[in-house]
Amino acid sequence: MRILITAGGTREYIDPVRFITNASSGRMGYELARAALKAGHKVTLISTVNRDSSLLKQADIIKVESAADMLEAVKKYFVECDCLIMAAAVADYTPAKESKTKIKKEKSTLLLKLKPTVDILKWAGKNKKQAVKGKNKIIVGFALEDTNLLDNAEKKLKKKNLDMIIANNVNAIDSVKTTIYVRTPDTEWLTFENKSKSTLASKIIKMIDQY
What pLDDT, in 10s, does the model give residues 93-110? 999 999 999 999 998 999
User: Which domains occur in the chain, in start order?
Assistant: 2-101+113-209 (3.40.50.10300)
What amino acid positions are annotated as catalytic residues?
Answer: 22
Q: How far apart are CA 81 and CA 34, in angstroms?
A: 17
pLDDT higher than threshold 80 for residue 56: no
Of the CA atoms within 13 Å of residue 196, those in its CB half-sphere come to 6
Average pLDDT of the residues of the chain: 94
Q: Report the distance separating Cα 30 and Cα 26, nearest Å.
A: 6
- Distance CA(145)–CA(14), nearest Å, equals 26
* Reported confidence tier of residue 54, pLDDT bands at 50, 70, 90: confident
Whether 53 shows a pLDDT value over 80: the answer reads no
What pLDDT, on the 0 to 100 scale, is given for residue 130?
A: 77
Pairwise CA distance, residues 124 & 139, whole Å = 7
Q: What is the pLDDT of residues 183-207, one digit of tens each?
A: 999 999 999 999 999 999 999 999 9
Residue 133 has pLDDT above 80, yes or no: no
Share of the chain above pLDDT 70, in %: 100
For residue range 28-41, what is the model confidence (pLDDT) as tens digits?
999 999 999 999 99
